[in-house]
Amino acid sequence: MVLVIASLWFISCEKEKNDEPITVTNQVEDRGNEPSKVFLPFENPYGQSYTNWTVSWMQRFMGFNCDKNPFVNPDNALFYQKGQVYFLAGLSTEGDAIKLTVPQGKAILFSLVNYINKYPCPNQPMEPKPGQSLEHFLRAGALKTLADVQGLSVEIDGVPISHLEAYQFTSRLFSFTGNPELASCLDVCVTGRPQKAVTSGFYLMLKPMSKGLHTLHYRAEIPSINAAQNGTYYITVI
């Protein structure tokens, strides 16, 4: 199981006492004053929900080896550059800053904090309770792990994005195949074979930006493990 707080990874296994109904995406109140720099959480950018985009982000992310993994190697932070939406991972060093180049007309899906809870995990064998579905079992662990996330902040060109708590998305059960190398550098639960998973995390999809230089700055905290992360991206749109 993997947690990314932009530049922090944390591995754990959790069980949930209650089998609660699944809520896949967040609904928020009317937010007409939200800056126009990001898609709102209830929108369907380019024909897909935020939640579906986050599953695609995680499936791509887990396919890299240790050398090319976007978290381990910041040179690969902008790790998917096809179609209308590029995928951006966090930085592995607190306070780090990197430069990126993006063509005009491309949106960017960025994760502040995310977590993938997967099954099976040979190194940490845990099973759903009798009568508990695999989806509820994995979802409960993911949500419990992210429950202590605090201090989220994002600024785009100096403009803060508000109500970041509304940008947490939790998937339904999906399949992925991770690169087996990741078990040695990132996540001991990756088998290199098809696995089931649920992912949850805080994501923003930046709308296509005008030509020129733009700045994305983020911060996130997990007080329970005394962790605080921040980083800056200087994005040149050409």
Separation of alpha carbons 22 and 20, rounded Å: 6
Confidence category of residue 66, pLDDT binned at 50, 70, 90: very high
* Better pLDDT: 126 or 92: 126
| Burial per residue of 17-56, b for 16 or more beta-carbon CB atoms within 10 angstroms, e otherwise | eebeeeeebbeeeeeeebeebbbbbeeebeeebbbbbbbb
Q: What is the pLDDT of residues 191-225, one digit of tens each?
A: 999 999 999 999 999 999 999 999 999 998 878 76
pLDDT (0 to 100) of residue 57:
97
pLDDT (0 to 100) of residue 13:
38
Confidence category of residue 123, pLDDT binned at 50, 70, 90: confident
Reported pTM: 0.85
pLDDT (0 to 100) of residue 122:
86
Count Cβ atoms below 10 Å from residue 212 Cβ, excluding itself: 11
Q: Please say if the pLDDT value at position 26 is more than 80.
A: no
Q: Please say if the pLDDT value at position 126 is more than 90.
A: no
Q: What is the pLDDT of residues 143-164, one digit of tens each?
A: 998 898 999 999 999 999 999 9
pLDDT (0 to 100) of residue 50:
97
pLDDT (0 to 100) of residue 229:
79
Mean pLDDT, the chain, whole residue set: 85
pLDDT (0 to 100) of residue 71:
85
